[in-house]
């Protein structure tokens, strides 16, 4: 064999191996942090991006610490134990903190921010359902003196947290190249604190960087391989669309509470009520129900349209056969003034 051909083949083999290793590295999950030992993280503490926060200025104490995991019971809705860890991170969600108040975790092994979307998975347990947030803090590689607490990305979890369950919250993160993320701010409750009347404890564990956008485990959403059966917990959420759905009013549970972050039982009726904003009239409710309701796979989900005339004094009971999986509600309202014209 001629030397040039031999070396060309060796070069091609080396390139192929490098590409294979690179692809493998991109698809492998990387645990950024757990709380089993103090060697697993660089630092932990409370943080609020609101600069005037009394918790940030030290005017009020903030409680974040590692505790023994008391939430190791098997989850009957899933049939397994979502988090058997011995240690977890506990934080007190203060009603005096903003909607970006959370637990700040300093990473022992920082990671590079990329223009390509990566997914950070965080186990979160909270008595309050709703949106969770992840904020990445770090510095540009060409600015070594920039504070490692400089905010680089904000991301909301792909699905709202389900209260009183371990959730695998998934955050899509991306941004400019040449940035290293040194700290992650985990916000279990990204809602306004104005309606909070008391503090509560939330728990965090196992932070993983992954190429997988789907939760490693789930109560309902993204459960592509799961067939819902009667009595299973399904997640509820409220949505909007480009046609004006979800604006100028709200859809609530019959007791007046918000639907997002709540659960219902598969195969059982569920009552909701429409609440128009002043000057608007309720027209219809679009209910998306099934599994993987954010996806486009045929047969995963269906949509049921309920017109206003089927509501009784603003309330409607959804039949049991429609509660066949996760639920997303999009209510539609129209202006009364526009109708008069």
pLDDT at 64: 94
Band of residue 338 on the pLDDT scale cut at 50, 70, 90 = low
Residues 47 and 176 in one domain: yes
Q: Is the pLDDT of residue 233 over 60?
A: yes
Is the alpha carbon torsion for 206, 207, 209, 212 positive or negative? positive
pLDDT at 78: 62
Share of the chain above pLDDT 90, in %: 52
pLDDT at 37: 95
Cα-Cα end-to-end distance for the chain? 88
Average pLDDT, the chain: 85
Residues 198 and 279 in one domain: no
For residue 311, being part of any structural domain is answered with yes
Band of residue 297 on the pLDDT scale cut at 50, 70, 90 = low
Q: Does this model's pTM top 0.75?
A: no
Q: Are strands 326-335 and 233-238 parallel, antiparallel or unpaired?
A: parallel
**Tens of pLDDT along 148-163?**
899 999 898 888 888 8
Last residue of a domain, one of 210, 243, 265: 210
Could you tell me the residue range of the domain that residue 245 belongs to? 233-340
The candidate with the shortest Cα–Cα distance to 304, out of 315, 290, 294, 291, is 290
Q: What angle (nearest 5°) sits at the alpha carbon of residue 252, between those of residues 126 and 313? A: 155
CATH code for position 78: 2.60.120.260
For residue 58, being part of any structural domain is answered with yes
Length of the chain: 341
Residues 79 and 178 in one domain: yes
For residue 10, being part of any structural domain is answered with no
**Tens of pLDDT along 177-196?**
899 999 999 999 988 888 78
φ and ψ at residue 170, rounded to 5 degrees: -115, 125
For residue 224, being part of any structural domain is answered with no
Residues 174 and 140 in one domain: yes
The candidate with the shortest Cα–Cα distance to 187, out of 93, 83, 120, is 93
Residues 47 and 122 in one domain: yes
Say if CB 323 and CB 271 are below 8 A apart.
no
The number of folded domains in the chain is 2
Residues 196 and 332 in one domain: no
Residues 201 and 238 in one domain: no
């Amino acid at each position: 064999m001629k030397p040039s051909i031999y070396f060309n083949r060796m070069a091609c083999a080396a390139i192929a191996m490098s590409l294979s290793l690179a692809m493998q590295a991109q698809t492998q999950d990387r645990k950024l942090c757990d709380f089993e030992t103090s060697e697993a993280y660089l630092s932990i503490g409370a943080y609020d991006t609101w600069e005037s926060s009394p918790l940030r200025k030290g005017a009020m104490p903030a409680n974040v610490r590692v505790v023994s995991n008391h939430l190791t019971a098997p989850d009957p809705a899933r049939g397994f134990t979502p988090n058997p860890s011995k240690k977890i991170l506990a934080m007190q969600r203060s009603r005096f903190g903003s909607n970006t108040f959370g637990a700040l975790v300093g990473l022992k092994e920082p990671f590079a921010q990329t223009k390509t979307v990566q997914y950070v998975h965080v186990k979160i347990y909270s008595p309050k359902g709703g949106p969770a947030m992840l904020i990445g803090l770090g510095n540009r590689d060409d600015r070594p003196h920039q504070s490692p607490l400089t905010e680089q990305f904000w991301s909301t979890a792909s699905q709202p947290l389900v209260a009183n369950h371990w959730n695998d919250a998934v955050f899509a993160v991306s941004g400019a190249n040449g940035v290293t993320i040194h700290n992650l701010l985990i916000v279990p409750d990204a809602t306004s604190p104005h309606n909070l009347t008391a503090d509560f404890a939330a728990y965090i564990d196992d932070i993983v960087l992954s190429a997988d956008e789907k939760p490693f485990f789930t109560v309902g959403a993204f459960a592509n391989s799961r067939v819902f059966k009667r009595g299973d917990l399904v997640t509820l959420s409220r949505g909007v669309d480009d046609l004006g759905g979800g604006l100028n009013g709200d859809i609530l549970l019959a007791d007046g509470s918000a639907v997002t972050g709540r659960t219902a039982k598969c195969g059982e009726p569920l009552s909701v009520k429409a609440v128009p904003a002043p000057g608007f009239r309720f027209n219809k409710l679009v209910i998306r129900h099934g599994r993987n309701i954010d996806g486009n796979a045929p047969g995963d989900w269906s949509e049921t349209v309920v017109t206003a005339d089927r509501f009784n004094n603003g309330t409607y009971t959804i039949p049991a056969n429609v509660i066949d999986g996760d639920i997303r509600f999009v209510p539609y309202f129209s202006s009364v003034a526009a109708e008069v014209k």
